[in-house]
Amino acid sequence: MNSELRERLGRYAAEWRVDLSETLETGTSLIAFGAHQNQSVVLKVTKQTGDEWHSGEVLQAFNGQGFVRVYEHAGGAVLLERLVPGNSLAEWSGAGRDEATTEILAEVIARMSNVNPPARLSHCPAVDDWARGFEWYQANGQQQIPRDLVETGQKEFLELCASQGQRRLLHGDLQHYNVLFDAGRGWLAIDPKGVFGELEYEVGAIMRNPVACPELFLRRSTVERRLEVLATRLNLNYERALRWTFAQAVLSAIWEIEDRHRVDESSAVVRLADTVRTMIADR
């Protein structure tokens, strides 16, 4: 843990009157557990500016509806209620539980959708802004993903952006690892990226998770079953949700390359994109 990170943690703990106990360092954050006004809390300090730097602003906009509650926040730091036991939906999901898991995710999204946050938040992009990933990939001469898959993914992404229905504030990375269980409040979302787009966009991350179970989410039957549950429970346009699933899988592969991860035709997200592209063609 570097001294700057320790200093920020101590400064926010003092400012927000948090008595710290244990700390945990992850690849992107320093997470400290403690007490604030006789409540168990989590103080999270993000290492670098990025998707989660302004997560506190997004959490505040949702006001605890489907989300963990936020007590204080600043750029790169957030004070949250502690969820107990706090196990993720990825831990709970497993053989024979995928439909039940998808129902839980749909219920979390439904609670989030009952809130009407501001039309814009100062630091949240629109899904259209994320299309720049395709431009980055092509401008840098990358070749890890089949060219036709990238071109088709970009075309679908741009067409979907231009024809969106009602836009709203979305989590942006709503999937199994970002939904935790609390004994008092049930399943709740954490770590929002915060992006504005139509609700059909939100399902894309679900379709390529849990990342530890590619043998599950790569099955065509899984894609069909999940989308049927989500479309029915959330009154979504199935066709658009399917197309978003494809375009986002391609973009996710590009983001992995940006983050210097190894990607090729055997990578799960590339295989998912290829599977879903076939499903779209067959409809």
- Rounded CA-CA distance 213/209 in Å is 7
pLDDT of residue 1: 59
Residues 45 and 122 in one domain: no
Q: What are phi and psi of 155, to 5 degrees?
A: -60, -45
Q: Do both 194 and 246 map to the same domain?
A: yes
Rounded to whole angstroms, what are the CA distances from 268 to 40, 143, 233? 38, 17, 27
Render pLDDT for 99-109 as a digit per residue (tens, 0 to 9). Answer: 999 999 999 99
Domain end among 82, 115, 140: 82
**Do 146 and 45 share a structural domain?**
no
**33 and 94 in one domain?**
no
| Of 28, 58, 82, the domain-final residue | 82
**Residues spanned by the domain of 225:** 87-282
Check pLDDT > 80 for residue 3.
yes
Q: How confident is the model at residue 121 (pLDDT cuts 50, 70, 90)?
A: confident
- Domain identity same for 98 and 139: yes
| Distance of alpha carbon 131 from alpha carbon 158, whole angstroms | 7
CATH number of the domain bearing residue 63: 3.30.200.20
d(C-alpha 124, C-alpha 18), whole Å:
28
Task: Give tens-digit pLDDT for 132-164.
Answer: 999 999 999 999 999 999 999 999 999 999 999
The model's pLDDT over 214-260, given as tens digits with 9 standing for 90+, comes to 999 999 999 999 999 999 999 999 999 999 999 999 999 999 999 99
Domain co-membership, 56 together with 174: no
- What is the CATH number for 128? 3.90.1200.10
Residue 58 sits in the same domain as residue 144: no
Using 50, 70 and 90 to split pLDDT, how confident is the model at 92? confident
222 and 93 housed in the same domain: yes
Share the mean pLDDT of the chain.
94
pTM: 0.95
Question: CA nearest 125: which of 61, 192, 173, 194?
Answer: 194
> Are residue 172 and residue 51 in the same domain, yes or no?
no
- Give the number of domains in the chain: 2
Same domain membership, residue 204 and residue 179: yes
Over its C-alpha atoms, the chain yields an Rg (Å, rounded) of 19
Asked whether the predicted pLDDT for residue 117 surpasses 80, the reply is no
pLDDT at 72: 97
Q: How much is the average pLDDT of 60-66?
A: 93
- Give pLDDT, residue 60: 93
Shared-domain flag, residues 55 and 118: no
* Site of tokens 């709203």: 168
Question: Based on the domain organization, do 53 and 92 belong to the same domain?
Answer: no
Mean predicted confidence (pLDDT) in 57-86: 96
Of 18, 53, 82, the one marking the end of a domain is 82
